[in-house]
Amino acid sequence: MYSFLNDYNEIAHPVVMDTLNNLVGKRFKGYGTDEVCERVAQQVKTRISQPNAAVHFFNGGTITNLTVISHILRPHQAVIAVDSGHVATHETGAIEATGHKVITVSSASGKLTPEHITKVLAENNDEHTVQPKLVYISNSTEIGTVYRKQELVALREVCDTHGLLLFMDGARLASGLMSKASDLTIEDVAKLTDVFYIGGTKIGALTGEILVILNPALKADFRFSIKQKGGLQAKGWLLAAQFEPLFNNDLYFKLGSHINEMATQIAQYFAGNGFDFLAPVESNQIFVILPNDLAKKLLAHYQLNVICQPTPDTTCVRFCTSWSTTQQDVDKLQQVFNSLS
């Protein structure tokens, strides 16, 4: 049974595996103080045109989110996120466990807007409420939509107006940035956010995310926070090394384009067959709404996440394309689905 279950179901892209195999027999210093971490940090800073950024390596999204947020906020400060935000829903209260409230706003698009933020500020305006301080967004979002450049500029402006900080969760940044729906670049992200990360686990790395801190005020003592939260890897070079081949020749971004292209084909197929989606398909996740019986038949052939029942008669399932998804996989899906009805 083939799977469009998620984008982290295989070990790693061949170039990453090659890199790891080439590390055999080499020795490095511990805890990210080695030359590989230094070299890849430099590579990242060059690629995003931010020579003064601080770069840190993590091995997963939740530990990155909770470390960043708890490092930045003072005890009475809170995060603003959309109600489908990963930190709000799928991290088992990781942010609250570090002491901070996640204030959520309802958003059908999965994206946050300046209006959301000003509403939250109006409702949380004295010492009897938390103090909103950090704006959390993800790109692509949890429902596969992506931010346009102008949308990110607008968020930056409202943050500047109100003294807020802007954090982009980039677990699916490759797909988000290479979306044909958006003109946003990684250089834009680096200019417009205070801190963001470049996800690797979901785009061909063995495991790893690169955190980039732009705002100088947030850089001090960050390694203390990584260590305290349990995220400082003894073999830091193991995380960093994987990104070297991914960033050479922009492979990282090419893989992003590839998974989006595969997703677009799947979306067009379903749209062409008259099916609707939970949200516009703009990246590598397709949330298609099917009649219950068709969904059931499909799930006998494919492993897929079942998201919700938009109506009693329909089921929304998620297809997630991966760096290893091929044209044949997509064609096969269409054959299988054609045979179901």
- Interface of this chain with a second copy, residues 280 to 339, rule: CB under 8 A: 303
Please work out the total of residues on this chain that contact a second copy, with binding judged by CB under 8 A.
Answer: 74
Q: Work out how close the CB of 160 gets to a second copy at its nearest, in angstroms, rounded to a whole number.
A: 19
Q: Which of 39, 98, 329, 332 binds a second copy (CB under 8 A)?
A: 98
> For residues 115 and 138, what is the distance between their CA atoms, to the nearest angstrom?
17
Asked if 50 and 42 count as a contact pair (C-beta separation under 8 A), the reply is: no
- CB burial string 171-194: b at 16+ within 10 A, e below: bbbbbbbbbebbebebebbbebbb
- Owner of token pair 């005020």: 217
- Of the two residues 261 and 329, which places its CB atom closer to a second copy in the complex? 329
Contact letters for a second copy, residues 252-281 (x by CB under 8 A)? ------------------------------
CA geometry: angle at 267 spanning 170 and 317, to 5°?
A: 75
Q: Which of 42, 46, 49, 76 binds a second copy (CB under 8 A)?
A: 76
> For residues 177 and 183, what is the distance between their CA atoms, to the nearest angstrom?
8
Q: Work out how close the CB of 72 gets to a second copy at its nearest, in angstroms, rounded to a whole number.
A: 10
Candidates 122-130, 189-197, 286-294, 328-336 — which segment interacts with a second copy by CB under 8 A?
122-130
Q: Which of 150, 224, 296, 327 binds a second copy (CB under 8 A)?
A: 224
Candidates 46-54, 94-102, 111-119, 150-158 — which segment interacts with a second copy by CB under 8 A?
94-102
User: Using CB under 8 A, which residues numbered 128 to 147 contact a second copy?
Assistant: 128-131
- Could you give the 3-state DSSP secondary structure of residue 102? strand
Residue among 31, 264, 225, 244 at smallest CA distance from 146: 264
